[in-house]
Amino acid sequence: MVLDKKSLRTDALANLYRAAYYLAKGQTQTGQVFLTRAQKVLNFNLKVDASRSDLYWAEKILDQFNLLSRG
């Protein structure tokens, strides 16, 4: 993947990765902020709820990151 500093998609992918990082660290609110920013640009919907652990949601977000970063 080639990084373009002016690309909204690249910035959104970085925010998606940041969301997974902060959720894995247990900082749920910060992770939610980055997830919301990424979802606005990438047009997908993932609702993180308290019924699962933050690590579960971090893994799901990384799965989405891998899918989106390839295409």
The stretch 14-42 carries a mean pLDDT of 95
Confidence grade of residue 24 (pLDDT, cut at 50, 70, 90): very high
Tokens read off for 62: 């990384």
The stretch 10-19 carries a mean pLDDT of 95
Residue 1, pLDDT above cutoff 70: no
The stretch 43-48 carries a mean pLDDT of 87
Q: Domain boundaries in the chain?
A: 9-70
- pLDDT at residue 23, rounded to an integer: 96
Q: What is the 3-state secondary structure (H, E, C) of 10-64?
A: HHHHHHHHHHHHHHHHCCHHHHHHHHHHHHHHHCCCCCCCCCCCHHHHHHHHHHH
